[in-house]
């Protein structure tokens, strides 16, 4: 007769280990990537896929260090703000002003991501201007 193992027979194992913190150099690298990937996605997709790039990098690296968290959160906030302006621009295209606001939103995202990538690569903390703060 075999006995069923009881829950007390094995020590509880965590589902996953906590992510290891990154070195300062790795934090700068991933903070820079957190701006470059959405910048490229924004340019290549006319503003529609930059959010995905920001979200993926934020979710993967937000718990790995304060510097990378701040920059990837800023990147995500830029993309959320851009997305809101893009959505508002769609109905405004009926009166033609939406084409202007759509283009300005993409330029806004590209410029802020370029500045953010430059600052992250230099190891500088940075808050993007004219950006709604949804993610901290």
Over the stretch 57-99, which tens digit does the pLDDT of each residue have?
A: 999 999 999 999 999 999 999 999 999 999 999 999 999 999 9
Helices (H) and strands (E) in the chain, counts: 4, 0
Report whether pLDDT(47) > 90.
no
pLDDT, position 11? 59
Mean pLDDT of 47-57: 89
Under DSSP, is residue 9 helix (H, G, I), strand (E, B) or coil?
A: coil
| Rounded Cα–Cα distance for residues 133 and 93 (Å) | 27
pLDDT, position 1? 56
pLDDT, position 89? 96
| Contacts of range 86-89, beta carbons closer than 8 Å, 24 or more positions apart | 86/47, 86/48
Residue among 59, 60, 39 nearest 108 (CA): 39
């Amino acid at each position: 007769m075999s006995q069923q193992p009881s829950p007390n027979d094995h020590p509880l194992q965590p589902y996953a280990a906590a992510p290891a913190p990154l070195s300062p150099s790795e934090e700068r690298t991933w903070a820079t990537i957190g701006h470059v990937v959405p910048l490229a996605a924004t340019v290549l997709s006319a503003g529609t896929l930059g959010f995905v790039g920001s979200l993926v990098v934020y979710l993967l690296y937000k718990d790995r260090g304060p510097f990378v968290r701040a920059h990837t959160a800023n990147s995500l906030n830029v993309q959320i703000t851009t997305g809101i302006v893009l959505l508002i621009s769609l109905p405004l295209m009926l009166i033609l002003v939406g084409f202007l606001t759509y283009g300005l939103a993409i330029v806004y995202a590209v410029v802020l991501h370029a500045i953010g990538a430059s600052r992250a690569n230099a190891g500088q903390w940075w808050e993007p201007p004219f950006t709604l703060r949804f993610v901290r």
